Structure 1
Amino acid sequence: MPETFTTADPPTADEPLLRWLTQASGDAGLHVATPTSGWNYTSYRDLAVRVKVFAAGLQAQDLRHGDVVTLMVSESEQFVVSFFGCLLAGVTPSTVMPRGLFRKADGYISHVSGILTAADPALVVAGEESQAYAEEAVKVSGLPSPVVTFTAVRESGAQGPPVRVPDDRPPGRTALLQFTSGSSGDPKGVRVSWGALTANVGAIRDWLGLTPQDRFAGWLPLFHDMGLIGQMLTSITSGVDTWILSPEQFIRNPGRWVECFGKYGATITTSPSFGYSYAARRVSPDDLAGYDFSRWRIAILGAERIDPVGVNDFTRLAAPFGFDPHALVGAYGLAEATLAVTGARPADGSPLATAHSTVVEPGSPVGARRDGLLGRDRGTGEHLVGCGRPLSGLVVRVLDDEGAEVPDGALGEITISGTSLADGYVLGDRRRIDFDPAGHRTGDAGFLLDGDLFVVGRIGDGIKVRGAMVFAEDLEAELERVSGTRAGQVAVLLGRSGGCDRAVVLIESSSPERWNDRIGTIVSTVRARTSPEFDCPVYAGRSGAIARTSSGKPRRRVLWRDYLAGGLTDWQLATQEGRS
């Protein structure tokens, strides 16, 4: 076998995920952003040595194969080393959101202790910055799990015998316990088998057509599926150069992300739609002087509803420097499918579509037609973006309420099956729920159009009006348009309480009083899309007040429960419009 992948010998779909540790190259590696403007580089050959030392340190903890090890590590290289160290040592990593990404300090310990209760780890590994949080969360959970620091494990491995690599890893054994981003607020661990993890990474490689000439750059948090599998696992196990920023570094200066493509020749990234529109607002054409984006061949968009207006702003910024909008690749995925489910074909671009109405009964046509190309055409907030076709080994069907498959262009629930489907959940009370291998109903609504998947919204974040579903995401897109807010500053909570259908509108603003003259427009827009009978209170809050999941989606169900309990303490009632 060659020491590293060559152009004639790229990684294949069934490439074992740990083979890179024995074939690691000194010519490619991991670039981690420093706190200032530089990058710390570690070749994959050196990184592999550190992984093996850490794995030996884990084995010195007297763990059994398959034991869960919770990782509370925020520094990027330490995270990479500890995660791959768990896989190599034969234990099951379970990753936790760093404190810095959790919005409310007083809720972090409760959040972590809930995850620990569900995961029941044999060991908790914490970075020095997280040790106190880890110890407190273990105490609250009542578990006997010991807490050790990353440094202690590493030093133990350096002083002890070499790692003992397990003889085999049965495809059905759990490789990863991946907690979903938590829109409901309840801890829910997804059991991802070795077979599913290997299959999904292989499917992503095939979809993207990865070659050794590719270079990956991203800013997503590494503990969650899109950053963990799409950004870290796929790139490192494929042996391609990888640049990683933290989310905080990206927010402070998105130009560092853009620099990876214009200056260092990165070719692939993945980001929510927000990342592109945010970079368009914060980076100026003058900042791009001398950059060349002509090698940037894939820019994946996922994790949230894609905003074609904001993406077009990014294209207008980057196109004069060689960026091709055909590089923009819409995708759909979820932790229950390990990560990726569908994706637009690279170089084809992602289609825009308009629908006559998504407020229809499941199984009814939405009247959709193709209407442009993402990035090239500006579109509106009402446009839906195609998320492509199923990746290899996966099957996507759209079903009505009775479980029957609906025709092309008809609305229904997205259901997935195939080689990347996870085994099931572990819940907060440690109950295990197995997925139906014949098809897992995702709770997402969408439709297929000429083979491409279009995602409308979460079924749990909608309400039926006269037999038809109305989705919060549709209302949010419309309210952003009529109120002049940026994407992500509006959340709509839909539900029924006190015998009344309600649409609670939350708007982030530094000046709540500025919304007073727009309340009538906001309320009339909501009622036009729902019913004149809807109660529609409008609240304003500070920037960042909308509670979000780790992937940036509004935690609508958590916010709805807070509303019912009178717990919207971070919000000011802008005005209350009663029922007509």
Structure 2
Amino acid sequence: MSPFISWIDAPRADRGVHVADDAGGWRHAAWSELAAAARRVGARLAEAGVRPGDVVCVVMPSGHPCLAAVFGAWAAGATVSPLVPPSFQPEREYLAHIGAVLGQAEPALVVTAAEFEPIVAKAMAEAGRPGRPWVMPDDWRSPGGDGLPQVRPGGPIALLQFTSGSTGEPRGVRVSWRNLAANLALIKHITTWREGDAFASWLPLYHDMGLIGGLFFMAATQGDLWLMRPDQFIRDPGRWLGCFDAGRATITASPSFAYGYLTRRLRPEQLEGLDLSRWRIAVVGAEAVDAAALEGFARFAEGTGFSRAAFRPAYGLAENTLAVTAPPPGRVARVIRPDWESLRFGEPVRVLESAVLGEAPLPPGSGWLVGHGLPPHPPAGGEPLGVRVVGEDGEPLPDGCLGELVVTGTSVAEGYHGGREGSSTRFADGALHTGDGGFVHDGELYVLGRMGDSIKLRGRTVYVEDLDAKVAAGTGLGRGRVAVVGTTERGRAGVAVFAEADPGGWAEDAHRMLRELLGPEPVITVVAGPRGLIRRTSSGKIRRRLMWQGLRAGRLEGAAVVARTDRPG
């Protein structure tokens, strides 16, 4: 039995999950309490008609009831699929997204909280799903009868992971128990996990890093977990930082923007008396790692005992369960500054400077990249995992050349749910073609990010096919005359709009629309040109990466940049 479910049979009573409340305190439930609750919830789900191998979607905020629902689905033998709960987005937008997810997942049951029941019921109706949501009972923690129900064996798929907050057609990644076990071995290696370690997280449980790297990791190892909701972190980031004060959490995982946010929001006096010397590991991922944000926080927290060696910049993606690579333990992260203007796919990368964190000034926007190590050799308790860099023809490139990252190994997921196909990220012949650009320099992997078909912003994947439609409609140019390309510039995510049109007011409309949709972070470029500007394959597919490379090299005939923002704001 997988360690992700076997803990329910032998849970610890001396460790558990501390959940942040909205009054500044913490509520605790031991793993033994959560295991008993999972068994009882699992039995109720079975009574409601859930059979082994069915999909159960969970739409709940982070908290003990959500944990009981997630593990209860497993106890019922189901495949669990945590989904984003309602938050600040307009209701129509949320219904469109969650309805599309439910339509693809085809769950036997949707578990939700009482306050979300009306909107989840609307989403189910829009997706054509029969029945009503199953509302998590208030007495989920109550003993309720003699003895505890048995855990039912399930099917081979443990988790259906939908890309969090994505636009466009949703894609659910099918993660098996075998995938989870292999990635657990890798996560243990990356974090140098040891008995007594505790984890602090503000990441949502519908996100792979928060779910697998936080909750599932701690359940399998029976460590203490300090859990906040994302909105609680945004309101009071110092509360999360306080989790690492002496004697509490030792490990975390977070996007790099969180460290920039901490540095901006907190005052130096708020760090007085804080002891971060036992904070061993800070895995950084879910988006392009911002070297300036990490260095800025390290300098800000100098008086607390925090060490730069705690930062573990990691590369990963849901299609590989979670983690792929990270630097070796105990080493300060390496950084390099490539010649961004000369970058060409398939060609050697010119490196202008190299250093380790703390050695060189890293101002925001200066274009430094952070190293992500390479897979461990041999892997710790798992089967071999490989990363290779390939060119346009799929053949491996020499070290130092920019190409697409291809991942192999037992962590590679079982594909997309319902036989759907990816765009830039795709499964082929047992390998995962990530759609991410990168290269190896001095034995270290450096990742540039998405190559044309999507971008990642604060852990959220945005597909450019959806942006094509929005920009075409908003500018009035028409769908066939607009193509949006995901880009990476000096380590920052960006988008470029290519339009077969003369320069005009539509360009500012497109720029403004994308800024509203994507927020302040990405670089936005708008390009006008004649008919034929948008390059296509013989089957009609847009050759997005080729267009961006042609623009950068000055080979895109007739193209003119008519609007651009290369700094936040």
* 1:530 CA drift (Å): 6.4
- Is the Cα–Cα contact under 8 Å of residues 311 and 332 in structure 2 kept in the other structure? yes
* 1:538 CA drift (Å): 4.8
CA distance in structure 2 between the aligned counterparts of 1:39 and 1:384, rounded to whole angstroms: 37
Corresponding letter in the other structure for 2:487: A
- Is the Cα–Cα contact under 8 Å of residues 290 and 491 in structure 2 kept in the other structure? no
Q: Report matched runs for 1:450-469 at 5 Å.
A: 450-460=442-452
- Is the Cα–Cα contact under 8 Å of residues 52 and 162 in structure 1 kept in the other structure? yes
Gap change, CA 1:335 and 1:157, over 3 Å in 2: farther
For 1:64-91, what per-residue CA distance to the aligned partner results, in whole angstroms no more than 9, with x for missing partners? 1100011111142122111111112210
CA distance in structure 2 between the aligned counterparts of 1:411 and 1:499, rounded to whole angstroms: 32
Task: State yes or no: 1:439 paired with 2:441.
Answer: no
* 1:440 CA drift (Å): 1.4
CA distance in structure 1 between the aligned counterparts of 2:180 and 2:197, rounded to whole angstroms: 22
Q: 1:52 corresponds to which residue?
A: 39
**Identical aligned residues as a percent:** 37
Question: How many residue pairs end up in the alignment?
Answer: 494
Query: Structure 2 residue aligned with 1:494, among 496, 519, 525?
Result: 496
Query: Structure 2 residue aligned with 1:123, among 97, 109, 120?
Result: 109
Task: State yes or no: 1:266 paired with 2:249.
Answer: yes
Gap change, CA 1:155 and 1:135, over 3 Å in 2: farther
Query: Structure 2 residue aligned with 1:276, among 230, 239, 259?
Result: 259
Gap change, CA 1:155 and 1:47, over 3 Å in 2: closer
For 1:152-177, what per-residue CA distance to the aligned partner results, in whole angstroms no more than 9, with x for missing partners? 7949994698433235x56xx11111
Gap change, CA 1:319 and 1:276, over 3 Å in 2: same
SS at match of 1:62: coil
CA distance in structure 2 between the aligned counterparts of 1:90 and 1:370, rounded to whole angstroms: 53
CA distance in structure 2 between the aligned counterparts of 1:135 and 1:541, rounded to whole angstroms: 41
* 1:45 CA drift (Å): 1.5
Q: TM-score, normalised by structure 1?
A: 0.78
For 1:174-227, what per-residue CA distance to the aligned partner results, in whole angstroms no more than 9, with x for missing partners? 111111135552111111111101211222112212112211101101111011
CA distance in structure 2 between the aligned counterparts of 1:96 and 1:398, rounded to whole angstroms: 33
SS at match of 2:14: coil
Q: Report matched runs for 1:128-527 at 5 Å.
A: 128-151=114-137, 154=140, 158=144, 162-167=148-153, 173-181=156-164, 183-357=166-340, 359-368=342-351, 371-374=354-357, 377-380=360-363, 381=365, 382-391=367-376, 392=379, 393-426=384-417, 431=420, 435-460=427-452, 472-474=487-489, 477=492, 492-498=494-500
* 1:129 CA drift (Å): 1.9
- Is the Cα–Cα contact under 8 Å of residues 346 and 391 in structure 2 kept in the other structure? yes
SS at match of 2:137: helix
* 1:499 CA drift (Å): 5.7
Task: State yes or no: 1:32 paired with 2:19.
Answer: yes
CA distance in structure 2 between the aligned counterparts of 1:497 and 1:352, rounded to whole angstroms: 36
Corresponding letter in the other structure for 1:474: E
* 1:369 CA drift (Å): 6.2
CA distance in structure 2 between the aligned counterparts of 1:37 and 1:317, rounded to whole angstroms: 24
* 1:116 CA drift (Å): 0.5
* 1:325 CA drift (Å): 0.4
SS at match of 1:354: strand
Gap change, CA 1:86 and 1:538, over 3 Å in 2: same
SS at match of 2:413: coil
* 1:372 CA drift (Å): 1.9
SS at match of 2:53: coil
- Is the Cα–Cα contact under 8 Å of residues 551 and 559 in structure 2 kept in the other structure? no
CA distance in structure 2 between the aligned counterparts of 1:537 and 1:476, rounded to whole angstroms: 20
* 1:289 CA drift (Å): 1.6
For 1:211-268, what per-residue CA distance to the aligned partner results, in whole angstroms no more than 9, with x for missing partners? 1221110110111101100111112221111101110000001000100112543111
Gap change, CA 1:40 and 1:439, over 3 Å in 2: same
SS at match of 1:65: coil
Gap change, CA 1:273 and 1:52, over 3 Å in 2: same
Q: 2:95 corresponds to which residue?
A: 109
Gap change, CA 1:178 and 1:227, over 3 Å in 2: same
- Is the Cα–Cα contact under 8 Å of residues 4 and 219 in structure 2 kept in the other structure? no
Gap change, CA 1:221 and 1:202, over 3 Å in 2: same
CA distance in structure 1 between the aligned counterparts of 2:352 and 2:55, rounded to whole angstroms: 47
- Is the Cα–Cα contact under 8 Å of residues 17 and 225 in structure 2 kept in the other structure? yes
CA distance in structure 1 between the aligned counterparts of 2:238 and 2:430, rounded to whole angstroms: 45
Gap change, CA 1:344 and 1:203, over 3 Å in 2: same
Gap change, CA 1:145 and 1:198, over 3 Å in 2: farther
Gap change, CA 1:528 and 1:63, over 3 Å in 2: closer
CA distance in structure 2 between the aligned counterparts of 1:440 and 1:527, rounded to whole angstroms: 27
Q: 2:65 corresponds to which residue?
A: 78
* 1:374 CA drift (Å): 3.1
SS at match of 2:273: coil
CA distance in structure 2 between the aligned counterparts of 1:498 and 1:113, rounded to whole angstroms: 34
Corresponding letter in the other structure for 1:351: R
Of the structure 1 ranges 322-331 and 442-451, higher mean CA displacement relative to structure 2 is found in 442-451
The CA RMSD measured in Å over matched residues stands at: 3.4
Corresponding letter in the other structure for 2:498: R
Corresponding letter in the other structure for 1:223: Y
Where does structure 2 lack aligned partners over 5 or more consecutive residues?
A: 456-484, 529-548
- Is the Cα–Cα contact under 8 Å of residues 99 and 130 in structure 1 kept in the other structure? yes
Corresponding letter in the other structure for 1:76: G
CA distance in structure 1 between the aligned counterparts of 2:222 and 2:454, rounded to whole angstroms: 43
SS at match of 1:108: helix
Gap change, CA 1:438 and 1:450, over 3 Å in 2: farther
- Is the Cα–Cα contact under 8 Å of residues 198 and 224 in structure 2 kept in the other structure? yes
- Is the Cα–Cα contact under 8 Å of residues 54 and 153 in structure 1 kept in the other structure? no
CA distance in structure 2 between the aligned counterparts of 1:137 and 1:38, rounded to whole angstroms: 34
Gap change, CA 1:431 and 1:43, over 3 Å in 2: same
* 1:362 CA drift (Å): 2.2
Corresponding letter in the other structure for 1:231: G
* 1:51 CA drift (Å): 1.4
- Is the Cα–Cα contact under 8 Å of residues 279 and 306 in structure 2 kept in the other structure? yes
Task: State yes or no: 1:94 paired with 2:106.
Answer: no
Of the structure 1 ranges 224-233 and 174-183, higher mean CA displacement relative to structure 2 is found in 174-183
* 1:458 CA drift (Å): 0.7
CA distance in structure 2 between the aligned counterparts of 1:500 and 1:390, rounded to whole angstroms: 48
* 1:500 CA drift (Å): 7.5
For 1:118-147, what per-residue CA distance to the aligned partner results, in whole angstroms no more than 9, with x for missing partners? 000111111112111110001111121541
Corresponding letter in the other structure for 2:63: S
